Amino acid sequence: MTSGVDKLISGYRKYRESIHAQHRSLVEQLVTHGQQPEVAVVACSDSRVDPAILFQADPGDLFMVRNVANLVPPMEEEGTYHGTSAALEFAVLGLGVKHIVVLGHAHCGGIKLMMEPDPYDSAFKFVPAWVSMLNAAHRRVLATMTNASSDERTRACEQNAVLVSLENLTTFPWVRERIDKGELQLHGWYVDIAGPDLSVYDWERGKFVEVV
């Protein structure tokens, strides 16, 4: 029986012989001249949501930042380790990306843990603190969607996670500066992985609109 790791090694061989061979010239250019992606994507670590596969991206197209529940924390300088903030800093200041996409998704385990923490309370130490930045959004959903189903509230929280991350992005001065200069645009996207159905946040209408 093939293990998960064996499958990865087999996949690497297939990649080397087919996809890499097809993109050899592009990869060589990326090595020689460096990466110059125009788009950074903040996505969930969920194994079912791979932005490169979902959007059929080529090597060098996307600078990806992945974490639990596709969250961007607010700007803060206390502490030592800021993985997501460091990645975004490199994307904006180091690579000069022109777009940052926050990609949320349905059936997010991090959002579910935030909404229904049991039985994870005793098992997880870091995840509850991480997703706690969504507590205010969760309270708003509960207060405004009293007649909604559990699935509807969960979907709203998943989409609100995208909006919280977009809001937190603007707390970084180098993000605000580039937005004001017209050099950077922020995008909120949400995918229902079962469909797959992609919705894009419409800033003027204040809601997610499905891509058809």
pTM, two decimals, is 0.92
CATH of 35-210, one of 3.30.450.40, 3.40.1050.10, 3.30.390.50, 3.20.20.210: 3.40.1050.10
Mean pLDDT within 193-211: 95
Q: How many CA atoms lie within 13 A of 115 on its CB side?
A: 23
Match 């309370």 to its residue by tokens: 121
Q: What is the pLDDT of residues 110-157, one digit of tens each?
A: 999 888 866 556 688 899 999 999 999 899 998 999 999 999 999 999
138-151 as b/e: b if 16+ CB within 10 A: beebeeeeeeeeee
Answer for the pair 193, 49: CB distance below 8 angstroms, yes or no: yes
Domain locations in the chain as residue ranges: 1-34, 35-210
Q: What is the pLDDT of residues 67-122, one digit of tens each?
A: 999 999 999 988 788 999 999 999 999 999 999 999 999 999 999 988 886 655 66
